[in-house]
Homo-oligomer: A and B are copies of this chain.
């Protein structure tokens, strides 16, 4: 049996400043679902953890989808009638619609209008727009700037390549002894957006580093860093054989802002990950839990009925519910080290608890075994030494009946999973308990 990860150390699993610093370092990179920005991002992550980087050629069929052409952007700007560059991706990565086709032409202010995107209600923010699956081009600009653009002839210039290449994603697997695993997934395709999703990338990276150094694991942990939607679909299509081994999944997104933690349940609603977040968020007064909806991040793919992983999503303020969402307002000032650290801490506790979830069988199920002669019980009735430890033994024996997991026993007894796991180890050492093959929890 695996020696479980030891109790979380009292200090944080990652230094808050280090969590922020990784976001800071990745912020300037111009990412999209394919291309050099993703590769650069994965290379940075690789400095912290053992990351395999997989390249999937354009045109590869992945379930109902096809890996797209690779997009390489060099320049993108608009010159006004006076020849001034009034919009330039060199100033902000969000200025160009991601996956824009190359263009170099002059056109009237009126004709330009159809290719501009802005947010009238947030006049100073640049929106984030993509067009992965419809060939077009466009610029994103603050509404303020847009309304100031005078009449006349404009030059638009996008120097980009949309050509066969590959889509990149990263994967870090830490094996466990049970043959089962927990999936942690985060998307890596957004340019210069801090909360969505440098926060997720930074926390996932630090979690992977933490668990890689935590000792032998019971359940494997697989961290995937994938372009949104197409990346998750590609990973699933190329790893269908692994799916039956995945106990639960966790998607990390938007966990660096100052809002309260928000957990969105998996489609099943009562998977391992759901039950663990229920437990751990109950202790946080502002945290909240939402039911599954089939809209959001890559939990959409992991939870799809033919895949059916119980994958939840951790957020702070949910997507679309803060004005900075998908705009230049989602910058480094919008996130903070303390929020990143709290998010990382809660994830670590949940994932640590997941390591302790198992099902055992009482090998002496007829009446209580005589714990006293095995040194597991006080021999003078009425003494109170190590009552809690004794109770944990009794709970494990009483409910290790083939029906209850340690997670069930935690919920019935209120004894934490680490203590139950420790009781299980003592009982196994006394031949009173045996680990069951891992089944549904």
Given A365-B305, A365-B306: A382 and B64 within 8 A (CB)? no
A382 x B133 contact (CB < 8 A):
no
Report the nearest B residue to A303, measured CB to CB. B398
Within 8 A of B (CB), among A365-410: 365-370, 372-373, 379-382, 391, 394-395, 397-402
Additional 10 contacts, C-beta under 8 A, given A133-B372, A304-B368, A306-B366: A64-B367, A97-B380, A133-B370, A233-B368, A294-B394, A303-B398, A304-B366, A304-B367, A305-B362, A307-B365
Which residue, of A134, A233, A368, A391, has the highest number of chain B Cβ atoms within 10 A?
Answer: A368
* Bound Cα distance A377, B132 (Å): 13
- Which residues from chain B contact A237 at a C-beta distance below 8 Å? 366-367
A431 to chain B, nearest CB (A): 11
Q: Does A149 contact B (CB under 8 A)?
A: no
Q: CB within 8 A of A370: which of B65, B391, B398, B413?
A: B65
25 contacts between A and B (CB under 8 A): A63-B369, A64-B367, A64-B370, A97-B380, A127-B382, A128-B382, A130-B382, A133-B370, A133-B373, A133-B379, A134-B380, A138-B380, A229-B368, A233-B367, A237-B366, A237-B367, A267-B398, A294-B395, A294-B398, A304-B365, A304-B366, A305-B365, A305-B401, A305-B402, A307-B365
- Which residues from chain B contact A412 at a C-beta distance below 8 Å? 291
Q: Does A206 contact B (CB under 8 A)?
A: no
Q: CB within 8 A of A305: which of B232, B304, B398?
A: B398
A126 to chain B, nearest CB (A): 12
* Bound Cα distance A306, B267 (Å): 35
- Which residues from chain B contact A95 at a C-beta distance below 8 Å? none
Report the nearest B residue to A432, measured CB to CB. B64
B380 x A64 contact (CB < 8 A):
no
Q: Does A236 contact B (CB under 8 A)?
A: yes
A318 to chain B, nearest CB (A): 15
Q: Does A326 contact B (CB under 8 A)?
A: yes
- Which residues from chain B contact A97 at a C-beta distance below 8 Å? 380
Interface flags for A64-96 (1: CB within 8 Å of B; 0: not) read: 110000000000000000000000000000000
Q: Does A111 contact B (CB under 8 A)?
A: no
Q: Does A202 contact B (CB under 8 A)?
A: no
A287 to chain B, nearest CB (A): 23
* Bound Cα distance A305, B365 (Å): 5
* Bound Cα distance A303, B367 (Å): 8
* Bound Cα distance A82, B237 (Å): 90
- Which residues from chain B contact A368 at a C-beta distance below 8 Å? 64, 229, 233, 300-301, 304
A364 x B401 contact (CB < 8 A):
no
Interface flags for A296-317 (1: CB within 8 Å of B; 0: not) read: 0000110111111000000000
Report the nearest B residue to A136, measured CB to CB. B380
Report the nearest B residue to A412, measured CB to CB. B291
